[in-house]
Amino acid sequence: MPDAIRHLTLSHVVLPLDNPVSDAKVLTGRQKPLSETVLLFVEVLTEDGHRGMGFSYSKRAGGPAQFTHLREIAEVAIGQDPSDIAKIYESLMWAGASVGRSGVATQAVAALDVALWDLKARRADLPLAKLLGAHRDSCRVYNTSGGFLQAGVEEIKEKATASLEAGIGAIKIKVGQPDWRTDLDRVAALKDHLGDVPLMVDANQQWDRARARRMCRELEQHDLVWIEEPLDAWDAVGHADLSRTFDTPIAAGEMLTSVGEHMALIDAGYRGIVQPDAPRIGGITPFLRFATLAAHAGLALAPHFAMEIHLHLAAAYPTEPWVEHFEWLAPLFEEKPEIRDGRMWVPDRPGLGFTLTQRMRDLTKETASIGRP
C-alpha cells in the first residue's frame, strides 16, 4: 500500500525584526517601514510516520490571508500519496480556484508544497538538492540585509565589512530614492569601500522607464553584478528593453506569483537575471517548472530571500547562481547555513536540512490541525 498524508499542522507565525528597515517604496511614500515578517509553516505527517516541514511568508500584508486560505483547502491533501506532489498541488489549486492561481492563493499552497518536497527528500535520506539533482555543493552568496535605505553610508560600510568577514562574497544595497543623485553618491561610496568585491543594487520598482534608462546609464561605470527591479515588477516589456540595452545585467521577478507572470519576461525578450521566489511563485513545484524554462532561455538565476529553501534549488540550476543571505529567519531554525569563501554550502542533512526551534513555537499566533493526529 502506498503511504498517505495523515495530518497537517498549520502555524501562523509573526517574527519581529530587531530594527525596522526601509527600501525605496518607503521613501516614495508607497509603503510603511518593514518591522516584521509573517510566516505560514506547514508540518506534514504520513501514515508511515514520515514528516516534512515547509513555509511561506509575507511582508507588510497577506500573512493572515495565507493561513486562512490554506486552512480552508488543505483537507483535500489528506489521504493522498505524499509522493504525488504535482497531483496534490493541482488538487489544492482547484480547491481554491475561485480566488485565482496567483497571489495569496499560490503563496498559501507554497508552504505545503515545500513541506512535501522536504518530506520526500527526508524519506530518501538525501538533501533536497541531491534529490533534485545538484550541479554543485555550494552557491555564491551575497548579503542584502545590511544595505537598506534607513542606514547611512558609514553604517552600510560597517555591515558590509562584517558580512565579508563572515564569509559572504558580495553585497547588495538599496537605491531608488526620490533624489537620484543621492543614490549615485551612495553607490560610488560603497564601490570605493568594497574595491573588487561584487556589488549589486536594488531599486525596488521605484523608477519609471525614463528614469530607469538614465540611472542604468549612470551606473554602468561601476561594473555592478546587476541592477534589480528598476521598474514596476509587472513591466515585462520595460525590463526586457533595459536588459537588451545595457551591459549591466537587469534582475527581476521576485514579486511575481505564478509561472505565467514569470514567462511574460521571457516572452518579452528578457535577457537578464531571473529571481523567482519559491514561496511566492507557489512552491518548489512551480519554481522547478519555471527554472527549466529559464535555463532553456539561457537566463542566470538568483532566487529571492528564503535561503533555507533556495540554496537547494539554486544548487540544482545548470548555470552558476547566486543565493541571497538574510539572517532574519535564523531564530526559527535550529541549524545555520554554512558560509565560507564567499559561498553558502548545501547541508548534508536530509530534506531542507532545517528543524524548527522553540522560538518559532513561541511566536506562533494561531495553529490549525487538519486530518487525523
Of 12, 159, 304, 325, the catalytic one is 304
Residue 352 lies in a domain: no
Give the range of the structural domain holding residue 294, as residue numbers without chain letter: 129-345
Q: Does one domain contain both 140 and 116?
A: no
Q: Which of 172, 174, 191, 262 is catalytic?
A: 174
Listed residue (188, 181, 183, 190) closest to 156, CA to CA? 190
Q: 308-360: per-residue pLDDT in tens? A: 999 999 999 999 999 999 998 999 999 999 999 999 999 999 999 999 999 99
Residues 272 and 170 in one domain: yes
Cα end-to-end span (Å), the chain: 20
Does 188 share its domain with 298?
A: yes
Whether 365 is catalytic is no
What is the tens place of the pLDDT at every residue in 13-70?
999 998 888 888 887 888 788 888 999 999 999 999 999 999 999 988 878 899 999 9
Q: Are 21 and 119 within one domain?
A: yes
Task: Let me know if 210 is exposed, middle or buried by CB neighbors in 10 A (0-12, 13-18, 19+).
Answer: exposed
Same structural domain for residues 169 and 318?
A: yes
Q: What is the amino acid identity at position 336?
A: K
Q: What is the pTM of this model?
A: 0.94
208 within 8 A of 231, measured Cβ to Cβ: yes
Q: Is 174 a catalytic residue?
A: yes
**Segment 148-189, tens digit of pLDDT:** 888 899 999 999 999 999 999 999 999 999 999 999 999 999
**Cell numbers of 329, please?**
529567519
190 lies in some domain: yes
**Summary mean pLDDT of the chain:** 95
Q: Residue 275 has which C-alpha cell?
A: 529571481
CATH code, 194: 3.20.20.120
